[in-house]
Chains A and B, each alone.
Chain A
Amino acid sequence: MEYSPPPFFKTGPTPLARLLIFSALSLAFLVADVRLNYLDSLRQVAAVIVYPLQRIAAAPASIARRIGDFFTTHGSLRADNARLKLENFENGALLLQLKALQAENEQLRALLAARERLKLELAAAEVLYAARDPFSRKVVIDRGSMQGVRPGQPVVDDRGLVGQVTRAYPWLAEVTLVTDKGQFVPVQNVRNGLRTVLSGTGSDGALELRFIPLTADFQDGDELVTSGIDGVYPPGLPVARVTSVERSVGQIFARITCAPLGGVARHVHVLVVSGSRELPPRPVDRKKQLRGKKPRKS
Chain B
Amino acid sequence: MADTRIETQEILLPVRAGFIALTLIGALMLNLLPWAGAWLWVKPDFVALVVLYWCIEQPRKVGFISAWMMGLLMDIADGTLLGQHALAYSILAYAGIVLHRRVRMFSGTPQMVHVLVLLLMNDLIVLAIRLVAGADFPGLQYFLGSFVAAALWLPLGALLKLPLRPRVDPDLF
Contact = CB atoms under 8 A, between A and B. Distances in A.
Interface in B28-64: 28-36, 40-41, 43, 60, 63-64
Contacts of A138: 79
A53 B77 CA distance: 9
A129 B34 contact: yes
Interface residues of B, number: 45
Given A138-B79, A181-B135, A53 B94 contact: no
Interface string B56-86: 0000100110011001110011111111101
A130 B34 contact: yes
A155 B97 CA distance: 46
A112 B122 CA distance: 63
Contacts, number: 125
A58 B77 contact: no
A167 to B, nearest CB: 6
B105 interface: no
B78 A133 contact: yes
Contact of B86 (A29, A47, A130, A202): A29
Contact of B90 (A22, A49, A60, A202): A22
Contact of B136 (A47, A61, A131, A135): A135
B95 to A, nearest CB: 9
B82 A30 contact: yes
B133 interface: yes
A: contact size bracket: 35 or more
B91 A19 contact: yes
Contacts of B134: 182
B82 A132 contact: no
A54 B32 contact: yes
Interface in A1-43: 11, 15-16, 18-19, 21-23, 25-30, 32-34, 39, 42-43
Nearest to A38: B82
B87 A46 contact: no
A contact face: mostly helix, strand, loop, or mixed = helix
A15 B40 CA distance: 33
A207 to B, nearest CB: 15
A135 B82 contact: no
Contact of B76 (A21, A46, A181): A46
Nearest to B86: A26
Given A50-B76, A60-B33, A181 B82 contact: no
A134 B41 contact: yes
Interface string A160-185: 00000001000000100000011000
Contact of B29 (A26, A42, A57): A57
Contacts of A244: none
A53 B79 contact: no
Given A135-B138, A181-B135, A202-B136, A57 B72 contact: no
B34 to A, nearest CB: 4
B40 A134 contact: yes
Interface string B85-123: 011001100100110000000000000000000000000
B82 A15 contact: no
Interface of B: 25, 28-36, 40-41, 43, 60, 63-64, 67-68, 71-73, 76-84, 86-87, 90-91, 94, 97-98, 129-130, 133-136, 138, 142
In the A-B complex, the 8 residue pairs with the closest CB atoms: A29-B83, A26-B87, A129-B34, A57-B32, A30-B83, A135-B135, A22-B90, A33-B82
Interface of A: 11, 15-16, 18-19, 21-23, 25-30, 32-34, 39, 42-43, 46-47, 49-50, 53-54, 56-58, 60-61, 128-136, 138, 140, 167, 174, 181-182, 202
25 contacts: A15-B98, A18-B63, A18-B94, A23-B91, A26-B68, A27-B83, A27-B87, A30-B84, A39-B82, A43-B82, A50-B73, A53-B28, A53-B29, A57-B32, A61-B33, A61-B34, A128-B34, A132-B43, A132-B78, A133-B78, A135-B80, A136-B79, A174-B79, A181-B135, A182-B134
Given A53-B29, A129-B35, A133-B79, 16 more contacts: A18-B63, A19-B90, A19-B91, A22-B67, A23-B91, A26-B86, A27-B87, A30-B82, A130-B35, A130-B36, A131-B79, A132-B35, A135-B130, A138-B79, A174-B79, A181-B135
